[in-house]
Amino acid sequence: MGYDRSMAAYAPLVIEHFENPRNAGEMADPDGEASTANPVCGDRMRVMLRVAGGRVQQVRWQTRGCPPAIATSSFASEMVLGWTIEQVESLTRETIAEAIGGLPSDKVHCSVLAATALRSAVADYRAKASSRDQIDGPGR
Ligand code: FES
């Protein structure tokens, strides 16, 4: 994955996370996971979550995309650590783009991957948790 433009166009945190991505990789037997594609460009992200006590304990991700997609994947994976699943459900691409220091106007769409994948992984977590409850029965 090469630089697609002068990195000078990006905020320092974008460059930092692109060059030193955090939490990249896979997770065995995640509590929730999701894959998503950016409708604008086709870039893809897969995210895996470990959840305990209703909070995100661990995030792993794999992204095939442009520098801001990699950077926002890494940044968001750190940002949501310790968040409740309800907080993740209300995560927006604007929140990520703003918190990372802004993105060039033609790259704002790149932060949609991380926001959508994280919300979808929480939806998967809820679906798995509810099917576990049905199998185990209430009160177990
Ligand atoms: Fe596809 Fe950035 S150009 S996510």
Cβ atoms of residues 96 and 76 within 8 Å: yes
Query: What spacing in Å lies between the alpha carbon of 110 and ligand 1's midpoint?
Result: 5
Beta strands in 5-85 (DSSP E): 32-37, 44-52, 55-64
pTM of the shown model: 0.90
Respond yes or no: is residue 66 known to be catalytic. Answer: no
Cβ atoms of residues 47 and 121 within 8 Å: yes
Radius of gyration of the chain (CA): 15
The secondary structure element, H or E, covering residue 135 is helix 112-136
From the list 1, 40, 41, 127, the catalytic residue is 41
Mean pLDDT calculated for residue range 17-36 = 97
pLDDT range class, residue 131, cuts 50, 70, 90: confident
Report pLDDT digits (tens) over 62-116: 999 999 999 999 999 999 999 999 999 999 999 999 999 999 988 988 999 999 9
Domains by residue range for the chain, with CATH: 5-131 (3.90.1010.10)
